[in-house]
Amino acid sequence: MTMILTIVAIAAALAVGLFANQVRRRRRAAGGDGEEASVSDLVSPLETLAVLLVAFVIVVAAESYGSASTAVEAEAGRVDQLYEVADYAPEPQRERLQAAAVCYARAIQAAEWPLMAEGGEKSPAASVWSTGFRTHFKELAHQDDATFALLVEADDERSKARQTRISEASPAIPPAVYWFMVVALAATVGAFAFGLPRDRGPSHLTLLCVLAVLFTGSLLLIQDIDTPFSGQIQITSDTMRQTAEDISEDYATDHPGATLPCDAEGKRI
């Protein structure tokens, strides 16, 4: 809906500007150089405002997207690290922790990832296994201090990365700022259209249409980047999926004959 409204706003501004320019041409058949110069003087600061707004918002959206991407990779890496560190824990905690790591990765990829496109929310299916980590850590607290410390550190970093991923799923740009930018760009396009010279040629209209398309593309790009887990350039769950596949294979090798306490989607059996 936002995409449609953005396109409509820019197109409407272009149409209104061209219509106003046509009316002005008809009313003033002669002279008018001073008026065109005054229009140009007004368009210049409006253009500067629009460009600064776009630059600022793109930076904010790009930083949010980058943070989300980094958090996704960090979370997958910490889950893999947790599985590997658990290899030094005594049984039965070793097998339980590694099973929980596999199930957690599967639950994130299958259950929690679809929630990211809706603005970010924790999945209970994944939280069950992260809670299980801490339960098993308590059993190790007085058995192996070195392994316990490494496991707690890996889990803490995993938890922070997960929280960052979820928080960055929500748009970083407030709706009021986005729509203010749309209005500024629409006004700029309309002002350019209104200020076209009376002796304009096809090149003037072509460049104006190109400008309108570029402004519209910038707005749509910003909207897409600001929702990192949906849209055309969304962050996928491939990293976590690869981690889940890798540690699932490791689990089958490390614990032959053992059965995971979850299904392929991380749901507890």
Q: What is the pLDDT of residues 127-150, one digit of tens each?
A: 999 999 988 888 887 765 778 889
Burial degree of 58 (CB within 10 A; 0-12, 13-18, 19+): middle
Residue 36: predicted pLDDT? 47
Tokens of 174: 């407030």
User: pLDDT at position 37, please?
Assistant: 44
pLDDT score of 102 = 96
Q: Average pLDDT in the 199-215 region?
A: 81
Residue 200's pLDDT band, with cuts at 50, 70 and 90, is low
pLDDT over 70 percentage in the chain:
86
pLDDT at 231 over 50: yes
Q: CA of 108: how far to CAs of 24, 50, 95, 169, 264, in Å?
A: 60, 40, 20, 14, 11
Query: For residue range 95-139, what is the model confidence (pLDDT) as tens digits?
Result: 999 999 999 999 999 999 999 988 878 999 999 999 999 888 888
Q: What is the pLDDT of residue 34?
A: 45
Lowest mean pLDDT among 9-18, 56-65, 178-187, 230-239: 9-18
**Cα(158)–Cα(110) distance, integer angstroms:** 18
Write down the pLDDT at residue 129. Answer: 95
Question: Mean of the pLDDT values across residues 33-38?
Answer: 47
pLDDT at 143 (0 to 100):
65
| CB distance 192 to 18 below 8 Å | no
Q: Which residue has the higher pLDDT, 46 or 25?
A: 46
Amino acid at residue number 247:
I
For 207, the token pair is 């460049």
Establish how many alpha carbons lie within 13 A of residue 77's alpha carbon, considering only the half-sphere containing its beta carbon.
Answer: 10
- Express each pLDDT in 153-186 by its tens digit: 999 999 999 999 999 999 889 988 888 888 888 8
- Would you state the pLDDT for residue 144? 59
Mean pLDDT of all residues belonging to the chain: 86
Q: Which residue has the higher pLDDT, 127 or 33?
A: 127
Q: What is the reported pLDDT for 27?
A: 64
